[in-house]
Homo-oligomer: A and B are copies of this chain.
Amino acid sequence: MRVTISRKAHFNAAHRLYRKDWSFEKNDAVFGKCNNPNFHGHNYQLTASVTGEIDVETGFVIDVKDLANIIYEEVELPFDHKNLNLDVPEFENLNPTAEYIAVVIWNKIKKRLRADFDLEIVLYETERNFVTYKGE
């Protein structure tokens, strides 16, 4: 029996959407108010969903405390109350769009899981905008 177990978390961060190799005008045309040079910010809401067989010993797919701890170490600790562009190495040369943040988070959490587990990341940037990445 394959079951998915999901855990929600959140982090509050500043970011700016722009490319260093583009002019301010081009960044402004593409990214609009998200290109504010002084940054803006979000309460990012994250759901990490792990799919695998139920362990008949425990009745768990994965102990949710372990999953919460992986999210804390890989996402909350390095991202929360940070500036994604300036404080997080993964975005030094990667535009921190919701899409790329989800991909970065997926890669960080996936490498901490057993190889036979599937992972899906849902990331809310605002209450009305969110992205989903399954490693496909």
Contacts and interface: CB of A to CB of B under 8 A. Distances in A.
Interface string A37-81: 011111100000100001000111100110000000000000011
B38 A41 contact: no
Q: Copies of this chain, how many? A: 6
- A interface: dominant SS: mixed
Nearest to A6: B130
Interface residues of A, number: 59
Given A99-B61, A100-B59, A9 B128 contact: yes
20 contacts: A1-B133, A4-B131, A4-B132, A5-B130, A5-B131, A6-B129, A6-B131, A6-B132, A8-B127, A12-B41, A12-B42, A14-B38, A14-B41, A15-B41, A36-B81, A38-B86, A39-B41, A43-B43, A49-B132, A54-B103
